[in-house]
Amino acid sequence: MILIIGAADTGRAPMATVLLRRLLHRRDITWIVASAGVVGHDEDPAEVEARDAMAILNLDISQHQARSLSDEMVDTARVLLAIDSGIARVLKGRYPQATIISLGALAGRQRDIPDPFRMQVGAWVSYAREIESLLNAGLDRLIGMVGGTEAPPAEAPSIPSPASSPPPQEPPEAELRRAAIERCQRLLALAAELPGVVDWPGARRQIEADLPTMSTPLSPQDLARPYAAIVQAMLGLTPQSPSSGQVASLRAALDTLRTTITTDALSAISVGLAAYPTL
């Protein structure tokens, strides 16, 4: 089985799955291709725009349900194909024994397809076509990896300058946390730029769904979980479209989550919560 791994398993990963199935079918190859997410939103459908984009390309993902990656899935997969290099690094940290490659590396290109979350369907179609192009370029390599005749290409090592020491390794949790923050920041930016146009209840639900990932502690001293609980309370005070001041407050709160949360940061957001409804 080939397992395509995304973040939430509701956008790029299910699209890549059906695109790869079609490419394999054209070669009369009947391997199982499935998808999962490192923070899969279990049983959620594919994003509406992803479904529409696939329909434009004569493919159907209307029955797709997201699922979280499990050890059992990894054990049954011949190749874990990460949708981008960030996901690949997370997978290599969790499953060093598995055969893992990113989509860009498979095609021999330094390219990650951006997450088009909340973009218009035209962007989804464009990225889907690029995914298909990368899959097509790397298809022979993928067939060799599944068949055991080809090993994944080695990552090109970065060579630090003599005057500097290599940067410390970032834990996989930090990468996932940062990716979730970026998704939510894009939503909040759209809410600020297009008030009354963005589906705020849907955007708020997405931010709430990403909060557990954004609050994963990076160290025993990290107070991210109680901090995220206050962000949750802020969202609960915003059932309708937020004001510009509330959007700015939410964006500042998420930016703070990029680093370890200290007692000072927790105190500051606690004080800010009292003023939030009047912003």
User: What is the residue-level pLDDT of the chain in tens, covering all 279 positions?
Assistant: 999 999 889 999 999 999 999 999 999 999 999 999 988 688 999 999 999 999 999 999 999 999 999 999 999 999 999 999 888 988 998 999 999 999 999 999 988 888 887 778 888 999 999 999 999 999 999 999 998 777 666 544 434 434 444 444 555 667 788 888 888 888 888 777 777 667 888 888 888 888 888 888 888 889 999 999 999 999 999 988 888 889 999 999 999 998 899 999 999 999 889 889 998
In-domain check, residue 274: yes
In-domain check, residue 58: yes
Q: How many domains does the chain have?
A: 2
Of 147, 181, 197, which residue is a domain's last? 147
Q: Which domain holds residue 244?
A: 172-278
> 177 and 138 share a domain?
no
> 51 and 139 share a domain?
yes
> 37 and 71 share a domain?
yes
> 24 and 126 share a domain?
yes
In-domain check, residue 156: no
In-domain check, residue 192: yes
> 105 and 182 share a domain?
no
> 34 and 141 share a domain?
yes
> 205 and 87 share a domain?
no
**Cβ-count burial 35-73 (b if 16+ within 10 Å, e if not):** bbbbbbbeebbbbebbbebbeebebebeebebbebeeeb
In-domain check, residue 197: yes
Locate 268 and state its tokens: 């500051």
Judge whether 63 and 51 are in contact, CB under 8 Å.
no
> 137 and 176 share a domain?
no
> 234 and 186 share a domain?
yes
> 143 and 215 share a domain?
no
> 42 and 131 share a domain?
yes
> 43 and 140 share a domain?
yes
In-domain check, residue 157: no
pTM, full prediction = 0.61
Report H helices in the chain: 12-26, 48-56, 71-76, 85-94, 103-106, 121-137, 139-147, 172-193, 200-214, 224-236, 244-256, 263-275
